[in-house]
Structure 1
């Protein structure tokens, strides 16, 4: 546990640890930037927890907005990675539960099949880019992940921004999931105003979600932070 690692007598760490373990956030983000990691967890009462890790310093922000910094080391990095892994896995389980609320699945129609194939091809290209970045020192992996119910919205959402691609997977109230993918190739994030692909899925929702889960796993496997190894 964090308090045991960094000092049993530290009241801030003990309280922070209790806040980390008390509940699943309704929405959280993870920002990977080469050797730096930032994550923010938003709770139902609008309070939040923050973890910022860099090679030299780790900054923790508690739900009462108090902030402390500590010297980074491998053990602390491992602990933070495990905490993030737990939150991501719980969010994936929530996504699966939402699909199981609507179990009447038939054979996918042509549009669903084409959308699934498009996603697989796009993911393959991105995975190859991640593989190259992880093997060459002058390249780095940068990605942002958002999971949960966004403030001001009602639908559960999983979003991944990696390099030029911006994926958004939304679980609709009618049981369908809506996928949109923006491609900002050769431009800054947000340049593209129309998605390269958008479509709804019902009969092959488990396969679409599985593709999304495998892609997020691959991002972390190839990054500096081995949350999924």
Structure 2
């Protein structure tokens, strides 16, 4: 039967991942279990975009893994080494983009305009993220629950927006890294309604003095996201 997909070996996958230069890419996207219909199925789709694009998807159905890398695929029995290499590559990529954003926060002045407002906003973020972390950890432990989220990082294609956006359960979280060094945080809370139902943000704040503390809260949350989404 004719197929557009070429067969791929495990060694070829490892070689491709090891040779990839993250500096060539400005935009990262990751979806975890998006569109999953069956309880025994799990899926990760990861994409990098720069002058060229790179896409890799890992799907697990029962004990079988299917890996698709730029229109080449590999189907094997569940292999911990392949899963580990993919997760390691994923974590290194996200860490690289996180470090880029840290550099942005070193720019601009830190004059305190509304320290009380920033303190309250930081506490709101801390508490909300703790609730989300517990939900992710609970979903990881229970077979009848599903870890599901989408992550975007970097400079949005065809735009000058520099951001990190995380959509997880009821929260839609965006950190905008502004050109003057400020950090703008906008969070929508859909509560028990469908995704995108909230028309007004639950939090919209610009951090100047506490931007590093606010960013640390997101980094800690992304760490829990990564751990909860391991196959």
Relative to the length of structure 2, the TM-score reads 0.83
Q: Which position in structure 2 is the counterpart of 1:59?
A: 68
Distance 1:108 1:15, change over 3 A: same
SS of the residue corresponding to residue 20 of structure 2 reads helix
Q: Is the 8 A contact 1:35 1:224 kept in 2?
A: no
Residue range with higher mean Cα deviation, 23-32 or 164-173: 23-32
Q: Judging changes above 3 Å, is the alpha-carbon distance between structure 1 residues 90 and 17 closer, same or farther for their aligned structure 2 residues? A: closer
Give the structure 2 partner of residue 89 of structure 1: 95
Q: Give yes or no for the alignment of 1:70 onto 2:77.
A: no
| CA contact 1:24–1:87 (8 Å) conserved in 2 | no
**Structure 2 residue 10 is the aligned partner of structure 1 residue 6:** yes
Runs of 4+ in 1 over 6 A off after TM superposition: none
**What do the CA deviations read for 1:176-221 (whole angstroms, capped 9, x no partner)?**
1110111122222222121111110010011000000000101111
CA drift of 1:17 comes to 4.4
Structure 2 residue aligned with 1:125: 131
- CA distances 1:96-122 after superposition (whole Å, capped 9, x unpaired): 111112364659611101110110110
Assess if the C-alpha contact under 8 Å between 1:155 and 1:173 holds in 2. Answer: no
Q: Secondary structure at the match of 1:194?
A: coil
After TM superposition, the structure 1 stretch with the greater mean CA deviation from structure 2, 147-156 or 160-169, is 147-156
Q: Is the 8 A contact 1:183 1:196 kept in 2?
A: yes
Mark the runs of 5 or more structure 1 residues left unpaired by the alignment.
62-66
Tell which deviates more after alignment, 162-171 or 98-107.
Answer: 98-107
Shift of 1:57: 0.7
2:21 aligns with 21
Residue 74 of structure 1 deviates from its aligned partner by 2.0
Structure 2 unmatched ranges of 5 or more: 1-8, 34-40
Q: Within 5 Å, which residues of 2 pair with 1:129-168?
A: 129-168=135-174
Partners of 2:200 and 2:58 lie apart in 1 by 34
Residues 105, 86 of structure 1: alpha-carbon distance in 2 compared, 3 angstrom cutoff: farther
Alpha-carbon distance, 1:35 to partner: 2.3
The 1:22/1:213 distance shift into structure 2, 3 A limit, reads closer
C-alpha deviation, 1:150, in angstroms: 0.5
- Go from structure 1 to structure 2 and tell me whether the alpha carbon gap of 1:120 and 1:209 turns closer, same or farther (over 3 Å shift): same
Aligned length, in residue pairs: 211
Is 1:213 the counterpart of 2:219? The answer is yes
Q: Which has the higher strand share?
A: 2
